[in-house]
Chain A
């Protein structure tokens, strides 16, 4: 079983749609969780950290369920500029340690 698994995608959605990405992780000792966004031929950029209480940043909402080892990202009112690959990322130990990346889910928002 892969350490971080994501929806295979791609997701093709119209502008204004709501889209949700799911992710599961296998290591129950994982400490911190993130969503990164990667545009084509660019480096990953941190979109948001994911907290146990859930967190929201504008149109983006992230949720964490430690019991199920499940992370989600919800994007409301999709914009064309949201088209990118979304990477679910887990820090498997405490402190500043290497990140484990999912393969990513590609989102295309179409006009």
Chain B
């Protein structure tokens, strides 16, 4: 399995500001993804982070709101832009190597006031 770290682990932000979340994997992986988990809900995929090209977004999520970078095979960032209280959630990064099994980072707990 891959060891995945995320920074920050939590943050409290003001409405209208932006937060960038970092995801670091301990070894090269083929795929990285960003999910959101709202209170009491299951995980929803935001986007697939593609190395060296634009991320692939799921329906309901757009690049202007959630810009994503993946400059290499072990690192990705997700920015939550122009935040509102509805963005309060846990944001999780996941990664997979050649098997279909995905492993998750510990998550970033975001509260927007």
Contact = CB atoms under 8 A, between A and B. Distances in A.
Interface residues of A, number: 21
A105 to B, nearest CB: 11
Contact of A31 (B31, B100, B103): B100
B108 to A, nearest CB: 10
Interface stretch (B38-46, B72-80, B81-89): B38-46
Contacts of A72: none
Interface string B82-107: 00000000001010101011111111
Interface of A: 31-32, 34, 42-46, 49, 87, 91, 95-104
Interface string B1-38: 10000000000000000000000000000110100000
22 contacts: A31-B100, A43-B92, A43-B107, A44-B43, A45-B104, A46-B1, A46-B101, A46-B102, A49-B100, A87-B43, A91-B100, A95-B100, A96-B30, A96-B31, A96-B96, A96-B98, A97-B48, A98-B48, A101-B43, A101-B44, A102-B42, A103-B42
A48 B102 CA distance: 11
A101 B42 contact: yes
Contacts of A99: 33, 43, 45, 94, 102
Interface centre among A32, A42, A91, A97 (most CB of B within 10 A): A97
A34 B101 contact: yes
Interface of B: 1, 30-31, 33, 41-45, 48, 58, 92, 94, 96, 98, 100-107
A104 B100 CA distance: 20
B33 A98 contact: yes
Contacts of A87: 42-43
A39 B72 CA distance: 31
